[in-house]
Structure 1
Amino acid sequence: MESRETYMPAFDEPPGTNLAGISIKGLKLPSPYISYGRPYHASCAKYIKDTFHASKNSDKLDKLVEAISKENVVGVKKGMTPHTPWSDILSIAAECREAPADCVVTLGAGSLTDGSKLVVLCLANNISEPKQLARYSVESTDTPSPVKQPTVPLITIPTSLSDGEFFSLAGGTDDSMNHKQGFLHSGMGSKLINLDPELYLTTPEYHWLSTGIRSADHCGLRLLVPSLLMCKENPKDLAARHRCPLGVPHGITSYIMCPAVMKYNIKHGSSNPEIPRLAGVLKAAGLNTDSNDLGDALDVIVRTLGLPRTLKELQVSSEVISALSKRALDDFWAPTNPVPLVEANQVQEILEVVV
């Protein structure tokens, strides 16, 4: 790894006009900047001071606070419940409002990243109650107008490959219904992403690899998967650790479900013009497309990483398949599948493959 810092936009192209059925036309979604080559704590402190003009038990957090300087840190919150409950978001927003905070910094994984995006949205729009926050969800038919853009900058320092720091979309769970909803508004994304491969050495291998395999959902195969395999072989390979977060993304769900979903799409999506094109790519890579497909390729990758491949390995009983199939349709990503998932029996067909 070079010691010289690289500071650059994460993307050189603007986003499209639609995301998972959500129109993003008219939204201001500037690319975040990424920084690497300088230790995370030094980089974060530098940009808090020079760019943004803002003044769980681990020495990594202590090192970050020390670098920023304690007199400039108005509050520290350790940890967030997975899937980002609204109660956590509103509680942190209230603390930031009272402080008051003029910059929000996260050091951790995906739930912290999503939560922080919603915190700065709450600060900008004076959101303090669940019923208020609900109006800003992508599912709301009563969204306030205008939605004020966050003015408190957000710096994210990821320790996993959850990827949420690269886009403005955030998910949060309504505690009262245990239902996760999406949020997407102008300006609610990260302003700066600090990437530090030495920091990633503190992330447990299982969490690092499991969040990394989500890259298959985001077309990160060429850069990220070889690097993940190198991390598995040599956990202290800093160059491989550095390449991983430059690709993408998260979840236990991915390494269990993704191969089965790929096979389902190939089976039921033969009329999709992308299928023959993909077959050509696989053939060029040396796979026998008569007997192997992308689902097989992903299965090999996941098994090589030593990750579970069935629901049984996660103590998920086959008895919940029916209910789980129906509940999965509540996810706004379901109809965006190449073969749109709109019926519970479609989801059940996929789940039964990985029981």
Structure 2
Amino acid sequence: MLEGIHTFSKQDTLVWGQPAAHAIRAHMAAKGLRRAVLLTSPSMAQTQYWQALLAELGGLVVGSFTECAAHSPRASVLQGAAVAKAQGADVLIAVGGGSVIDAVKLMLDCLWLDLSSHEGLDALRAGAHSAALQAEQRLRMIAVPTTLSAAEFTPLAGITDTRTATKELFEHPLYVPALVVLDPLATQETPAWLMASTGIRSVDHCVETLCSARPSPYADAMAQHGLQLLVQGLRAMQAAPNDVNARLHCQLGTWLAISGPVSGVPIGASHVIGRVLGGAFGVPHGQTSCVLLPGVLRWNASVSAAAQQRVSAAMGAPQRPAADLVLELVRSLQQPSTLRELGIEKSQFPLIAEKSLQMFKHPGSAGNPRPVQSQQDIFEILESVY
């Protein structure tokens, strides 16, 4: 008999196709919020969209922090939280991709628990969440994503401890933004390579959901439709970069794609090894999926033929191998498809394998249909995409 558990997110509201400022104003008015601090990356802070959003929100914005760095280093978290605390923020607004959104998630905990140091984050890493605040009393965040990473839908924050070059996972059900606004105009100044690669990251969410060792009928349905929207939207956006509807289709596909991991479907080897490449070697998350997913599909093919056939069907070619279809999509989007292109050397494989085996111990990382049990298993995957 099939069995499983579906976990419902604490997210309150998702708005799509509306200008972000309009949706944010309505949300803040409904919740009685008056003191927003906006947070983003240095590159996003130079865009016309960021400047327009600041102007449109006007007096609701009491401060900003524009130094959220790639891979969400602890330093960005502590600095951003200090700004928000000094300004007396009653809501944080993250405008950016996964690195910005993940950093702001952990800033919430810094503000909830009054943490301001690495030692405080070390204690939090060990599980020191406070029960003093009720859910309705906690400061929450709003997210306006500018990429297709889907960080805005998850209760996980991937944070880099630069002292050890390690990606840490922090988790809290209220890390998910109270409001997510899918405004396709927010993505128009995002570099094309970043949109394409994070789109493949969301394709990865769909694929590893459909192939998971612990599947869910709800997640499978979301992943299949999400994969269709993503493949169609990414191709359309590649052909016509200014097509706002194509961008919105990608955003909606991203939302559906992450439904599996958010609801409790565990991820597989592409995501797990990808976290190591990001945290230890600075590889953008989207590009880790571009390189690893085809190799992981091939490595798993002997035990997941039926699931991979569903992936192929959702991508429009049910008779072809899923690994080939994903690789062709990656290359059509002009993204890297080998570890060599990412600057990874074979001499680094032992370190990648060692850190990956540690990541596989996380409860949400047990979804690979073919169990990864040794460094040799990881070497085989890495060799196949070198």
Which TM-score applies when normalising by structure 1? 0.82
Q: Is 2:282 aligned against 1:251?
A: no
Greater shift, 240-249 or 332-341, is seen at: 332-341
CA contact (8 A) 1:105 1:154 kept: yes
Q: Distance in 2 between matches of 1:39 and 1:276?
A: 41
- AA at the equivalent of 2:300: N
Which protein has the larger Cα radius of gyration, Structure 1 or Structure 2? 1
What amino acid is the match of 1:50?
A
Q: Give the unaligned 5+ runs of structure 1.
A: 1-14, 18-27
Matches within 5 A, 1:54-69: 54-55=34-35, 56-69=45-58
Q: Secondary structure at the residue paired with 1:336?
A: coil
Q: Which letter maps to 2:52?
A: K
1:38 to 18, 21, 33: 18
Return the offset for 1:230. Answer: 0.6
Match of 2:215 in 1: none
Partner of 2:75, secondary structure, is helix
Give the C-alpha shift of residue 277 in structure 1: 4.8
2:149 is equivalent to residue 162 of structure 1: yes
From the superposition, tell whether residues 238 and 325 of structure 1 become closer, same or farther in structure 2 (CA, over 3 Å). same
In 1: Cα distance, 2:196 partner to 2:104 partner: 24
1:306 paired residue among 321, 334, 337: 334
| Pair 1:52–1:262, CA change in 2 (3 A) | farther
Report the 3-state secondary structure (helix = DSSP H, G, I; strand = E; otherwise coil) of the residue aligned with 1:49. Answer: helix
Which of these residues, 120, 124, 146, is aligned with residue 136 of structure 1? 124
Q: State how 1:181-330 maps to structure 2 within 5 Å.
A: 181-219=168-206, 220-248=226-254, 251-267=286-302, 270=303, 275-279=305-309, 282=312, 286-288=317-319, 292-330=320-358
Deviation at 1:286, TM superposition (A): 4.5
Structure 1 residues 8-19: aligned runs within 5 Å? 16=6
Q: Which deviations, in whole Å up to 9, do the C-alpha atoms of 1:68-123 show, x marking residues without a partner?
A: 11x33221111311111112111211221121111111111111101111111211
Q: Within 5 Å, which residues of 2 pair with 1:64-103?
A: 64-69=53-58, 71-103=59-91
**Pair 1:328–1:82, CA change in 2 (3 A):** same
| 2-structure distance, mates of 1:176, 1:254 | 25
Over 3 Å counting, the alpha-carbon distance change for 1:306 and 1:33 in structure 2 is same
Q: Tell me, yes or no, if the aligned pair for 1:125 and 1:147 is still in contact at 8 Å.
A: no
How big is the shift at 1:52?
Answer: 4.6
Q: Judge conservation of contact 1:41–1:63 (CA < 8 Å) in 2.
A: no
Matched, 1:180 2:162: no
Distance 1:313 1:277 in 2: 29
Q: Which AA in structure 2 matches 1:279?
A: Q
Q: Look up the SS of the partner of 1:41 in the other structure.
A: helix
2:355 & 2:308 partners in 1: Cα distance?
30
CA distance in 2, matches of 1:59, 1:303: 30
Q: Which moved more, 1:157-166 or 1:54-63?
A: 54-63
Q: 1:147 to 1:217 in 2, by over 3 A?
A: farther
Moved more, 316-325 or 208-217: 316-325
CA distance in 1 between partners of 2:313 and 2:139 (Å): 49
Task: Choose the corresponding residue for 1:146, options 131, 144, 156.
Answer: 131
Identity rate of aligned residues, in percent? 30
Displacement, 1:164? 0.6
More helix by share: 2
- Among 79, 100, 118, which residue is 2:106 paired with? 118
Question: Structure 2: how far apart are the matches of 1:296 and 1:94?
Answer: 47
Does structure 1 conserve the Cα–Cα contact (< 8 Å) formed by 2:91 and 2:139? Answer: yes
Q: Find the aligned partners of 2:51 and 2:313 in 1 and give their Cα distance.
A: 51
Conservation of the 8 A alpha-carbon contact between 1:45 and 1:67: no
| Shift of residue 316, structure 1, vs aligned partner | 2.2
**Contact (CA 8 Å) 2:140, 2:177: kept in 1 or not?**
yes
Aligned-partner SS, 1:104: strand
CA distance in 2, matches of 1:280, 1:174: 38
**Whole-angstrom CA distance in 2 between matches of 1:53 and 1:283:** 46
Q: Is the 8 A contact 1:197 1:241 kept in 2?
A: yes
* Secondary structure in structure 1 of the residue aligned to 2:358: coil
SS of the aligned residue for 1:74 comes to strand
Q: Is the counterpart of residue 48 in structure 1 residue 28 in structure 2?
A: yes
Quick check: 1:154–1:190 contact (8 Å CA) kept in 2?
yes
The one-letter code sitting in structure 2 at the alignment partner of 1:239 is: N
Counterpart of 1:59, as a letter, is Q
Give TM-score scaled by structure 2 length.
Answer: 0.76
Distance in 1 of aligned mates of 2:317 and 2:163: 51
Q: Deviations over 1:2-39 (max 9, x none)?
A: xxxxxxxxxxxxx825xxxxxxxxxx841341112322
Determine if contact 2:67/2:76 at 8 Å carries over to the other structure. no
Supply the distance in 2 between the matched residues of 1:329 and 1:97 (Cα, whole angstroms). 37
Kept in 2, the 8 Å contact 1:52–1:153? The answer is no
Q: What CA distance in whole angstroms lies between the structure 1 residues aligned with 2:344 and 2:243? A: 34
Native 8 Å contact 1:325 1:348 kept in 2: yes
What are the Cα deviations for residues 31-79 of structure 1, in whole angstroms up to 9, with x where unaligned? Answer: 341112322223223322334532422232221121111x332211113
CA offsets per residue over residues 247-286 of structure 1, 9 Å max, x none?
Answer: 227511001110000111113xx2xxx5335436747955
The residue identity in structure 2 corresponding to 1:58 is: T
